[in-house]
Amino acid sequence: MSELHIEMPPDEPVIAFRRLVKAPPDLVFRLYTEPEHLRHWWGPRHLILTTCDIDLRVGGRYRLVQRAPDGEEFGFHGTYLAIERPHRLVKTFVYEGRPDNEATDTFTFEPVGDDTLVRCRTVHSSVAARNAHAQAGASPGLTASYQRQAEHLATFRKGPPR
């Protein structure tokens, strides 16, 4: 995994990141859209992804629920707004603990040789909403998730991806 670069422009309600993934765009797109892959990497290691429901179509919904060791659950859901396999994915993102803070995530998957440059731009309703997301642990959560994603991808080197 390449280094994760996160940007939060001071006067914009945006969190943006980019990173290079050692896999082709079609596989990377699947990592973000198929439950059998998301279950292996989405969220910090100490949280278990107990629910991973995905209806991958424009207008389709998704819901993810993580459970902490103490039993506390964290739910997330949204709606797919655009799907351009394997180059672009746009969806809403709502943390159920703050349902008033809906954001829109736009992911792009750009081929770079045999790898993929993943970019995500998350747009919140306000800078305050963006700051609340950041303070809730967006950066450490992304870093932990993408470390797990790299570990999941490493298993493919032992055999073809499923």
In a domain, 69, yes or no: yes
What is the pLDDT confidence band of residue 2, given thresholds at 50, 70 and 90?
low
Q: Which region among 13-22, 55-64, 80-89, 145-154 has the lowest average model confidence (pLDDT)? A: 145-154
Q: What is the pLDDT of residue 144?
A: 86
In a domain, 70, yes or no: yes
Contact 80, 91 (CB under 8 A): yes
The predicted model gives 150-154 an average pLDDT of 91
What is the pLDDT confidence band of residue 101, given thresholds at 50, 70 and 90?
confident
What is the pLDDT confidence band of residue 99, given thresholds at 50, 70 and 90?
confident
108-145 pLDDT, tens digit per residue, is 999 999 999 999 999 999 999 999 888 876 667 778 88
In a domain, 150, yes or no: yes
Q: What is the pLDDT of residue 134?
A: 82
Q: What is the pLDDT of residue 132?
A: 87
22-76 pLDDT, tens digit per residue, is 999 999 999 999 999 999 999 899 999 999 999 999 999 999 999 999 999 999 9
Q: What is the pLDDT of residue 4?
A: 87
pLDDT at 157 over 70: no
Contact 58, 74 (CB under 8 A): no
As a whole number of angstroms, the distance between CA 148 and CA 127 comes to 29
Q: Which domain holds residue 101?
A: 4-155
Beta strands in 27-141 (DSSP E): 48-54, 61-67, 73-84, 88-95, 103-112, 115-123
In a domain, 91, yes or no: yes
In a domain, 162, yes or no: no
In a domain, 161, yes or no: no
> How far, in Å, are 105, 132, 156 from residue 129 at the CA level?
14, 5, 38
Q: What is the pLDDT of residue 161?
A: 53
Three-state secondary-structure class, residue 17: strand
In a domain, 129, yes or no: yes
In a domain, 78, yes or no: yes
How many domains, the chain? 1
| Bridge pairing between strands 103-112 and 73-84 | unpaired
Angle, helices 138-156/25-33, rounded to nearest 10 degrees? 120
* Predicted structure pTM score: 0.91
Looking at residue 46, what DSSP letter applies? Answer: T
CATH of the domain at 36: 3.30.530.20
